Structure 1
Amino acid sequence: MKTHKLPPEVPFPPAPWNLSGEGWIGLFQADQDVPCPAPWKHVLSPRLVIVALMRYREGTLSYDELMVGPLVRHGTRMGLWVAHIWVDSATSLWGGRRIWSLPKEMATFTWEEGRVRVKDARGAPIATLGVERRTGFGPSLPMPVPGIGGAPGQWTSFVGRLRGRLAPGGLNVEGWSERFPFQLGDAALVSVHASSMTLTVPPPQSWSEDGAAPPSPSP
Structure 2
Amino acid sequence: MTDPTGPPAADYPAPPWRARGVLWMTVLTAREAPELPADLSPVGGRRTLLLLLVRYTEGSLRYDEFAVGSLARRGRRVGLFCHRIWVDSPASLRGGRRLWGIPKELARFSWDAETVRIRDGNGPVAALRLGPHGRARVPVLRAPSSGFGRIGGKRTFLCGQVSGRLGRGRLRVLDWHPPLPDLASPSPRCTLSISAARFVFPAGTRLGPAGSPAPTNPRPTNRRPKGST
With structure 2 as the length reference, what TM-score do the two structures score?
Answer: 0.83
Q: Provide the secondary structure at the position in 1 that maps to 2:107.
A: strand
Residue number in structure 1 paired with 2:7: 9
Residue number in structure 1 paired with 2:154: 154
1:140 correspondence with 2:133: no
The aligned runs of 1:177-192 (5 Å cut-off) are 177-183=177-183, 185-192=185-192
The aligned runs of 1:48-67 (5 Å cut-off) are 48-67=48-67
Residue number in structure 1 paired with 2:202: 202
Alpha-carbon spacing, 1:47–1:82, altered in 2? closer, same or farther (3 Å): same
Distance in 1 (CA, whole Å) between partners of 2:126 and 2:133 is 21
The answer to whether the Cα contact below 8 Å between 2:108 and 2:118 also exists between their aligned partners in 1 is yes
Alpha-carbon spacing, 1:203–1:151, altered in 2? closer, same or farther (3 Å): closer
1:159-210 deviation digits (Å, cap 9, x = unpaired): 2110111121312211110222423522211111111111101111012149
Q: Provide the secondary structure at the position in 1 that maps to 2:96.
A: helix
Residue number in structure 1 paired with 2:121: 121
Distance in 2 (CA, whole Å) between partners of 1:125 and 1:38 is 30
Distance in 2 (CA, whole Å) between partners of 1:177 and 1:187 is 15
1:78 correspondence with 2:72: no
Residue number in structure 1 paired with 2:129: 130
Distance in 1 (CA, whole Å) between partners of 2:184 and 2:90 is 28
The answer to whether the Cα contact below 8 Å between 2:69 and 2:83 also exists between their aligned partners in 1 is yes
Distance in 2 (CA, whole Å) between partners of 1:61 and 1:162 is 16
Distance in 1 (CA, whole Å) between partners of 2:72 and 2:195 is 26
Distance in 2 (CA, whole Å) between partners of 1:6 and 1:184 is 34
Residue number in structure 2 paired with 1:95: 95
Give the drift of 1:152.
7.6
Residue number in structure 1 paired with 2:213: none
Read off the aligned partner of 1:91 and give its amino acid letter.
A
The answer to whether the Cα contact below 8 Å between 1:136 and 1:195 also exists between their aligned partners in 2 is no
The answer to whether the Cα contact below 8 Å between 2:18 and 2:199 also exists between their aligned partners in 1 is yes
Give the drift of 1:139.
4.9
Distance in 2 (CA, whole Å) between partners of 1:79 and 1:135 is 26
Give the drift of 1:28.
0.6
Gaps of 5+ in 2: 211-229
Name whichever of 168-177 and 102-111 sits farther off.
168-177
Distance in 2 (CA, whole Å) between partners of 1:180 and 1:67 is 10
The answer to whether the Cα contact below 8 Å between 2:30 and 2:181 also exists between their aligned partners in 1 is no
Alpha-carbon spacing, 1:139–1:126, altered in 2? closer, same or farther (3 Å): same
Give the drift of 1:32.
0.7
1:21-42 deviation digits (Å, cap 9, x = unpaired): 1110111111111121112111
The answer to whether the Cα contact below 8 Å between 1:65 and 1:88 also exists between their aligned partners in 2 is yes
- Aligned pair count reads 206
Residue number in structure 2 paired with 1:214: none
Read off the aligned partner of 1:83 and give its amino acid letter.
H
Please report the RMSD computed on the Cα atoms of aligned residues, expressed in angstroms: 2.0
Give the fraction of aligned pairs with identical amino acids, expressed as a percent: 33
Distance in 2 (CA, whole Å) between partners of 1:34 and 1:74 is 17
With structure 1 as the length reference, what TM-score do the two structures score?
Answer: 0.87
Q: Provide the secondary structure at the position in 1 that maps to 2:99.
A: helix
Read off the aligned partner of 1:137 and give its amino acid letter.
A
Name whichever of 134-143 and 173-182 sits farther off.
134-143
